[in-house]
């Protein structure tokens, strides 16, 4: 039945969707080149591509060693990390909004980010003993703890807000607010026992920052985030069917529980990894999917990949601003996304109230 639904979509609509995705992809490429060039240490735009080609063995163009070191050692891993995290948060937000059929749902608002942050802080403060057990834990321990925290909070909030297979969105958001407050209190309690180094690290979690990105962290993030992205993207027909209601989707052959579990696990893995690598960055998962739906419709064949690309664009642009507004110092990237996202969230609430009442 799902295949029949997919086949009924006109080919013209597919061409329009592909055009939108290509346009967003080109915007992201342009932004990546600008981000590679602009910063406290300026790299001429004409040198960026030669440096990148040289890294894969193609000697094209001229550049200095300092330019190559800054781009390949510092700036490029940070840019790519921003793409993974921004795109992942945008996609996770789109998936959760599609699952709950409500544009106000966002990983940060329902407590997923704060759950991941709490478990991450627990690992930072008390995890030194675990690191001696296995060297592998020094690489994956932090994102693993953050993933578990995000997943547990997701399941808890879902169970609180669900009754007889139906989810009350108002209860979902209120439960998220309560969980955020609880996680904030627990983080404060953990930090009470932290040393000075752990307290300094906490600033990283509370404000969000991509400054700690490097190639090893990027490798870990890609291994964890890419499978989750793939699992969510392949579920667009099921999310389209569930937009009609869970009962209707069930009669169309959708395994509702399977879709829920896959989306919960994948979203928690993405958000947990993002929190472990860059701290808490809010509102990307709220703003991005809504902009895609507002501009191009609610078909998840476009909404999901479009949210990934626009999320990557938004976070890359926010990071570019954070690096350059007060250079040579840097603003925490979470401040930029909050300044953009909070007014947009208020706008969504006002519109949602008008539609409901």
* Domain count along the chain: 1
Give the per-residue pLDDT at 68. Answer: 92
In a domain, 10, yes or no: no
Burial of 337 by CB count in 10 Å (0-12 exposed, 13-18 middle, 19+ buried)? buried
Rounded to whole angstroms, the Cα distance separating 313 from 25 reads 9
Cβ-proximal residues to 62 (8 Å cutoff; 6+ apart), any chain: 47, 50
CB 43 within 8 A of CB 71: yes
Give the per-residue pLDDT at 131. Answer: 64
Give the per-residue pLDDT at 318. Answer: 93
In a domain, 9, yes or no: no
Q: List average pLDDT for each run of 10 residues in the chain, which is 357 residues long.
A: 53 84 96 93 91 85 88 94 95 92 79 85 77 68 84 85 73 85 90 77 74 88 93 94 87 88 88 86 88 89 96 94 87 87 78 58
CB 76 within 8 A of CB 54: no
In a domain, 4, yes or no: no
Burial of 323 by CB count in 10 Å (0-12 exposed, 13-18 middle, 19+ buried)? buried
Q: Which domain holds residue 278?
A: 17-354
In a domain, 255, yes or no: yes
Which pair of tokens denotes residue 289?
A: 């999917």
Element (H, E) at 161: helix 135-161
How many residues are present in the chain? 357
Reduced to 3 states (helix: H, G, I; strand: E, B; else coil), residue 163 is strand
For residue 192, the domain's CATH number is: 1.10.3470.10
Rounded to whole angstroms, the Cα distance separating 219 from 223 reads 6
Buried b (16+ CB within 10 A) or exposed e, 279-317: bbbbbbbbbbbbbbbeebbbbbbbbbbbbbbbbbbbbbb
Helices (DSSP H) in 193-278: which residue ranges? 196-207, 215-233, 236-242, 246-251, 256-278
Give the per-residue pLDDT at 4. Answer: 52
In a domain, 100, yes or no: yes
Give the per-residue pLDDT at 344. Answer: 79
Task: Strands of the chain (E only): list them.
Answer: 162-163, 166-167
Which pair of tokens denotes residue 30?
A: 């342009």
In a domain, 3, yes or no: no
Rounded to whole angstroms, the Cα distance separating 217 from 219 reads 5
Rounded to whole angstroms, the Cα distance separating 239 from 303 reads 10
Cβ-proximal residues to 292 (8 Å cutoff; 6+ apart), any chain: 94, 302, 303, 306, 307, 310
Reduced to 3 states (helix: H, G, I; strand: E, B; else coil), residue 166 is strand
Rounded to whole angstroms, the Cα distance separating 142 from 8 reads 45
Compute φ and ψ for 166, nearest 5 degrees: -115, 145
Rounded to whole angstroms, the Cα distance separating 315 from 282 reads 10
Query: Looking only at Cα atoms, what is the longest distance across the chain?
Result: 66
Rounded to whole angstroms, the Cα distance separating 319 from 298 reads 28
Q: 179 to each of 104, 140, 171, 353, how far by Cα in Å?
A: 17, 25, 12, 24
In a domain, 213, yes or no: yes
């Amino acid at each position: 039945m799902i295949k029949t639904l997919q086949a009924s979509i006109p080919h013209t609509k597919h061409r329009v969707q592909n055009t939108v995705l290509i346009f967003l992809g080109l915007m992201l490429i342009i932004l990546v080149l600008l981000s590679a060039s602009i910063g406290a240490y300026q790299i001429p735009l004409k040198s960026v591509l030669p440096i990148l080609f040289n890294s894969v063995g193609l000697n094209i163009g001229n550049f200095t060693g300092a330019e190559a070191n800054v781009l390949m050692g510092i700036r490029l891993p940070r840019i790519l990390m921003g793409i993974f995290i921004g795109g992942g948060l945008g996609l996770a937000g789109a998936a959760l909004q599609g699952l709950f059929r409500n544009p106000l749902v966002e990983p940060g608002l329902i407590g997923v980010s704060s759950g991941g942050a709490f478990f991450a802080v627990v690992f930072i403060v008390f995890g030194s003993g675990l690191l001696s057990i296995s060297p592998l834990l020094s690489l994956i321990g932090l994102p693993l703890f953050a993933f578990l925290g995000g997943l547990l909070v997701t399941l808890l909030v879902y169970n609180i807000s669900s009754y007889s297979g139906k989810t009350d969105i108002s209860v979902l958001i209120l439960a998220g607010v309560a969980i955020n407050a609880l996680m904030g209190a627990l983080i404060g309690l953990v930090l009470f026992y932290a040393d000075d180094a752990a307290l300094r690290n906490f600033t990283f979690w509370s404000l969000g920052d991509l400054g700690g990105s490097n190639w090893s962290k990027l490798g870990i993030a890609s291994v964890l985030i890419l499978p989750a992205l793939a699992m969510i993207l392949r579920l667009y027909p099921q999310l389209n069917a569930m937009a009609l209601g869970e009962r209707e989707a069930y009669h169309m052959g959708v395994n509702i529980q399977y879709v829920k579990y896959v989306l919960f696990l994948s979203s928690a893995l993405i958000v947990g990894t993002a929190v472990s690598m860059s701290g808490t960055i809010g509102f990307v998962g709220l703003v991005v999917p809504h902009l895609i739906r507002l501009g191009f419709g609610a078909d998840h064949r476009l909404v999901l990949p479009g949210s990934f690309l626009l999320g990557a664009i938004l976070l890359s642009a926010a990071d570019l601003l954070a690096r350059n507004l007060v250079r040579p110092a840097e603003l925490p990237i979470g401040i930029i996304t909050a300044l953009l996202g909070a007014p947009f969230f208020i706008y969504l609430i006002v519109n949602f109230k008008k539609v409901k009442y």
